[in-house]
């Protein structure tokens, strides 16, 4: 229901543009450094792990392909989403939860604004725009991480071979699920954060509880959804 109302509000006036920009800044720009860091190291780890397996088969040239596929299909979207769930599902839930217990949400309704429109819609939209972008950045930085391991560090392959191999291995299919997933994760994170925040009761203690629950529930749903999507795409 919350999802329906929040989505319907996208096309309904009044439109709170300032709130949207503010949220995009908080989620996107605020999460950029940590996303880059995690993306880089997941690429590094992938390449390191694969180097042993691949050298057993004498297929070290394929390191680019393996890194690219695992990053784009799964690691990039899921790791970024878990990161953002930890950082922003909690942030959203605690912010809205504090507003709930200090009766700011009641005050909004009493003073002529719809809290779903004013609070949920901008967060949902901002998340849907920024999470896929952050994922793309994480994927790309991860590939660079993989390159650092594969080429200068372990000399598994040449630079041009790595990038060629990585680039050609990615099919339309991989890109599609690599972008569909963060989009769905964004919806999960934003709505779970908002829902648990707005349902908070029981003072500051309740805010803590809502925050923790939001992160746990969002993370679990991220895993369920990625399993379902992967299952669908494997069959395609």
* Residues at the site binding other proteins, with contacts judged by CB under 8 A: 14, 101-104, 106-114
Written as six digits, the tokens of 142 are 């991860």
The answer to whether the Cα torsion of 208, 214, 220, 226 is positive or negative is negative
Which CB sits closer to other proteins, 14 or 159?
14
Query: Residue 15 to residues 42, 53, 128: CA-CA distances in angstroms?
Result: 39, 53, 17
Q: How far is the CB of 192 from other proteins (least distance, A)?
A: 21
**Residue (36 or 101) nearer to other proteins, CB:** 101
As a whole number of angstroms, the distance between CA 154 and CA 47 comes to 10
Least CB distance from residue 14 to other proteins, whole Å?
8
Supply the minimum distance, in Å, between the C-beta of residue 111 and other proteins.
4
Scanning the structure block, which residue is given the tokens 């809205």? 96
User: What are the CA-CA distances from residue 12 to residues 9, 34, 76, 153, 236 (Å)?
Assistant: 5, 35, 34, 54, 37
d(CA 58, CA 113): 64
Instruction: Report the nearest approach of other proteins to the CB of residue 9 (Å).
Output: 13
Nearer to other proteins, 159 or 203 (CB): 203
Closer of 55 and 102 to other proteins (Cβ): 102
Of 16 and 183, CB closest to other proteins: 16
- CB of residue 145 to other proteins, shortest distance in Å: 38
Q: Quick one: 103 or 171, whose CB is closer to other proteins? A: 103
**Alpha-carbon dihedral of residues 129, 220, 119, 125, nearest 10 degrees?**
10
Tokens of 10: 């996208």
Least distance between other proteins and beta carbon 202 (Å): 13
Please say whether the beta carbons of 79 and 86 come within 8 A.
no
Q: How many CB atoms sit inside 10 A of residue 8's CB?
A: 12
């Amino acid at each position: 229901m919350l999802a329906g109302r929040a989505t319907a509000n996208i096309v309904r006036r009044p439109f709170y543009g300032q709130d949207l920009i503010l949220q995009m800044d908080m989620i996107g720009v605020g999460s950029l450094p940590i996303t880059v860091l995690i993306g880089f190291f997941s690429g590094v780890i992938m390449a390191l792990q694969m180097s042993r397996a691949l050298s057993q088969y004498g297929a070290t040239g394929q390191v680019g392909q393996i890194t690219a596929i695992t990053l784009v299909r799964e690691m990039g979207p899921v790791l970024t989403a878990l990161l953002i769930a930890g950082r922003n599902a909690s942030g959203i839930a605690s912010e809205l939860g504090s507003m709930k217990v200090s009766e700011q949400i009641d005050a909004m309704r009493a003073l002529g604004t719809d809290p779903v429109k004013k609070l949920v819609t901008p967060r949902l939209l901002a998340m849907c725009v920024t999470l896929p972008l952050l994922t793309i950045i994480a994927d790309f930085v991860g590939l660079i991480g993989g390159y650092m391991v594969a080429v200068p560090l372990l000399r598994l392959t040449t630079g041009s071979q790595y990038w060629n191999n990585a680039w050609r291995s990615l099919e339309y299919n991989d890109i599609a699920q690599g972008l569909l997933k963060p989009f769905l994760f964004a919806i999960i994170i934003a709505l779970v954060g908002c829902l648990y925040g707005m349902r908070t009761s029981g003072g500051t203690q309740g805010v803590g509880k809502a925050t923790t629950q939001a992160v746990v529930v969002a993370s679990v749903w991220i895993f369920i959804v990625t399993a379902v999507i992967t299952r669908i795409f494997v069959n395609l």
